[in-house]
Structure 1
Amino acid sequence: MSLSTRTRTLALTAGAAVLVLTLTACGSDPAGGADGANGKGGMAGMDHGASAAATGTPSAATDGHQGHPMPGTGTATATATAAAAPAAERNGYRLTSAAETLPAGAPAEYRFTVTGPDGRPVTAFATDQTKRMHFYAIRSDLTGFQHLHPEMAADGTWTAPLAALTAGGWRVYASFVPDSGPGKGTGLVLSRTVDVPGEGAAATAELPAATGTATVDGYTVTVEGAPAAGRAGELKVTVTRDGRPVTDLQPYLETFAHLTAFHAGDQAFAHLHPQARAEAGSTGGPTLSFHAELPAGGDWRLFLQFQTGGTLHTVALTLRVAPQ
C-alpha cells in the first residue's frame, strides 16, 4: 500500500460448521438497544458493533446481546445488533489504561483493566468463541490490523502483546462478556485511542479501492455481494488456491472464518461472527455465505481470518456499501 502525499484525517472515534453459514454485523441505533445471539449452539455476546461518531467521549449507551435459539438446519441467522459509538465507557463498564503512548517499530505490551459499575476491576469474564477477551488494534488509516487474545492477571489487569506498530494514531478495542455483576451475559465493546510517536506519524496510507478479490499467502479470496447500509445482504466468500477450491479450512475460534470490519472515515467497528460452531477436526470451504448488515454506507475495510494447515491467514479488502 503506497503512502499518499495528502493526509487523510480519519477520526479516531470508532473499533461453516457447514459450507454455508450465515452471519450478521452489529448496527447502530440512536436508542442504543441491542439484540444478538446467545442461544443453543451459539456463542455468548458474539456480535458486537459500533456506529460512527466524532469523538471518543465515554457514552452511557448500551451494547448488549440477548439469546436466540439456534435453528437446526446448520444455517445460522441473527438480527442486527444496535450499538452506540465506540467509547471507553458503556453501561457503567470502563476500559482504563495508563498507556497514552506506545513505542513505534518494536513489539509493545498494552496493559488495561475493565472496571465495573462499582468501580472495581472485573475479573469474571465469560468465554466468547473460546476466549475471555478479544482485543483489536487498528491505525487511523485502517492499516496494521491486529486481533489478539490477552492474558489477565489475578488483579484484573490484561496484557495485550502487540506486534510492532507504525508511528501514528491508533485505536484499540476490547470485546468481552462479563460473567458477574449487572452486565452478566451482555456483550460489550469498549475502545480507547493511543498515540505512537515517531517519524511518519502524520502520513496516512491511501485506502485501497473497493474490490472483490484479495490474496494472501498464495490464497485468493473472492467476495461477491452488494450490501446496502442498514439492510441485510448476502456476502459470498470463496477461497481458492492456484485456481482450485480450498476445502481444508480448519476451525478457528470455533468457526471457519472470522470477520472484522472498520468503516473508513470514523473507524466504526463491526464484528461479524457465525452462530454455528465448527466442530474440532472438521474442515470447510471453499464457499462461506455471510448474511451481513452494516450500519453505514461508504467504504468498509474487511479483515477475514481463516486457518489451513495450522497457519492463520488474514486477508484485507475494501467493501463498498451503498447508502441507506
Structure 2
Amino acid sequence: MISSTRSTARRRSLAATGAAAALALTLAACGSSRDTSSMPGMHHGAESTVSPSPSTSQAMGDMPGMDHMATGNGLSDTQGGYRFTATDANLPSGRQVALRFTITGPDGKPVTDFTPEQTKRMHFYAIRSDLTGFQHIHPTMAADGTWRADLASLRPGTWRMFSSFTPGSGTGKGKGFVLSRTFTVPGQATKSPLPAPARSTQVDGYTVTVEGTPMAGMEHPLTVSLAKDGKPVTDLQPYLNSYAHLTAFHEGDTAFAHLHPTTKVTGDHGGPDLAFHAELPTSGNWRLFLQFRTGGTLHTAALTLRVG
C-alpha cells in the first residue's frame, strides 16, 4: 500500500514537471514571435515596446526607403500642425507651369529644414482625378522656404498635388508626412476610364509583372518582375537609392500610398525581381506607377491592382 502511494506521487510530480517545461517553451516561443515581428521602420509614428535584435535592425537598415515611412492617405493639406499652402487654386492647361508653395510648421512659419528621403528633401506628385497624368517631381526650395515644382503640361480637370517630406527639426522631426491640395485646370475635362485590374503591363518594350494579393489595411509583400524580349532584366540602375520607385493612388478619392522597396542596391545590375513592402489602407482599385531606370533612361509603367 505504501509502495503504491509513493509510485502515484512520483508520477504526479513528473507530470507537473513536464507541464511546467511545456509552458516555459510556449512562453519562449511567444516572446520570440513578438521580437521578430517588431521590425524597425514598419510602423512609423508608433513606438515599439520590444527592442529588435541587432541582427534584425542591421538587416532592415540595409533596405532602402525603410527609415521614414509616411503615415496617412495624404488627402488633407494639414497634419500634425504642418500645412501645405499655395496661393493659386487654378493652374493653366496645355503648357508647363511652375507651382510655388510652402510647408508651414506648427509655429506657422515656413519649414526650411528637411531630411532627405530616398536622396531627396521632397517628393512631389501630381495626379488627375481619373488617375491619369501622373507626375513625380523633386522640387527646389528657396532660402525662405518657398518650393518650386516644375509641372509638365496639364490636361483640363481636377488635379491633386501631393507633397511628401520629413522635417529635419521641430516637433515633427524624423516623421514622414504626406500633404495634398486639389487644383483646377480650366477647360473641357474628359474623364478617362480606369484600365481593368491586371497583373502585367508593358512600357518601352519592357514587361512589368506584379505578384502578390494585398488585403486592405494589412502589411503584405509585393514582388515586381521585369523582362524584355522574353528575357529577365538584370541591368536596372539605381534610382532614388533603389532599383524602382512604386507609388499607388486609390480610385475615387485619389488616396496616396508609397510602396517601399526592400531590395538592396548593389550596383548597375538590378533585377529581375524586386521586393516591396505594401500596406494599402482601403479596398478597391489602386493605380500603381512603377519607375525604373535602364541605360540612363527613366521608364514609368502603370497598372491597376485590385485590393480586397
TM-score by length of 2: 0.79
Tell me the percent identity: 57
1:295 aligns with 2:281: yes
How many angstroms apart in 1 are the aligned matches of 2:283 and 2:179? 23
Secondary structure in structure 2 of the residue aligned to 1:83: coil
Contact 1:36–1:81, Cα closer than 8 Å, also in 2: no
Secondary structure in structure 2 of the residue aligned to 1:71: helix
Corresponding residue of 1:206: 193
Corresponding residue of 1:180: 169
**Matched residue type, 1:215:** Q
**Equivalences for 1:71-220 in 2 at 5 Å?**
71=59, 83=72, 86-199=75-188, 201=189, 203-220=190-207
How many angstroms apart in 1 are the aligned matches of 2:191 and 2:45? 34
Contact 1:36–1:64, Cα closer than 8 Å, also in 2: no
**Equivalences for 1:233-312 in 2 at 5 Å?**
233-275=220-262, 277-279=264-266, 281-312=267-298
Contact 1:297–1:320, Cα closer than 8 Å, also in 2: yes
Give the stretch that moved more between structures: 102-111 or 228-237: 228-237
**Matched residue type, 1:270:** A
Secondary structure in structure 1 of the residue aligned to 2:59: coil
Corresponding residue of 1:317: 303
Structure 1 unaligned segments of length 5 or more: list them.
1-34, 39-46, 49-62
**Matched residue type, 2:144:** D
**Matched residue type, 2:227:** T
Corresponding residue of 1:31: none
Contact 1:126–1:178, Cα closer than 8 Å, also in 2: yes
Contact 1:225–1:235, Cα closer than 8 Å, also in 2: yes
Give the stretch that moved more between structures: 282-291 or 212-221: 282-291
Contact 1:301–1:317, Cα closer than 8 Å, also in 2: yes
Secondary structure in structure 2 of the residue aligned to 1:214: strand
How many angstroms apart in 2 are the aligned matches of 1:103 and 1:77? 34
**Cα–Cα, structure 1 residues 272 and 305, in superposed 2: closer, same or farther, change >3 Å?**
same
**Cα–Cα, structure 1 residues 174 and 232, in superposed 2: closer, same or farther, change >3 Å?**
same
Deviations 1:89-113 (A, max 9, x none): 1111111000101111111111000
Higher relative contact order (CA 8 A, sep 6+): 1
Contact 1:249–1:307, Cα closer than 8 Å, also in 2: yes
- Which structure features the higher share of helix residues? 2
**Cα–Cα, structure 1 residues 92 and 232, in superposed 2: closer, same or farther, change >3 Å?**
closer
Corresponding residue of 1:27: none
Contact 1:65–1:187, Cα closer than 8 Å, also in 2: no
How many angstroms apart in 2 are the aligned matches of 1:244 and 1:274? 23
**Matched residue type, 2:197:** A
The CA RMSD measured in Å over matched residues stands at 2.7
Structure 2 unaligned segments of length 5 or more: list them.
1-37
How many angstroms apart in 2 are the aligned matches of 1:164 and 1:76? 31
Deviations 1:108-158 (A, max 9, x none): 111000111111111111111110010000000000000000000011000
How many angstroms apart in 2 are the aligned matches of 1:76 and 1:163? 28
Secondary structure in structure 1 of the residue aligned to 2:149: strand
Offset of residue 225 of structure 1:
2.1
**Cα–Cα, structure 1 residues 84 and 217, in superposed 2: closer, same or farther, change >3 Å?**
closer
**Matched residue type, 1:320:** R
1:222 aligns with 2:209: yes
Contact 1:251–1:307, Cα closer than 8 Å, also in 2: yes
How many angstroms apart in 2 are the aligned matches of 1:133 and 1:36? 25
Contact 1:139–1:145, Cα closer than 8 Å, also in 2: yes
Offset of residue 193 of structure 1:
0.5
Offset of residue 290 of structure 1:
2.6
How many angstroms apart in 1 are the aligned matches of 2:39 and 2:85? 26
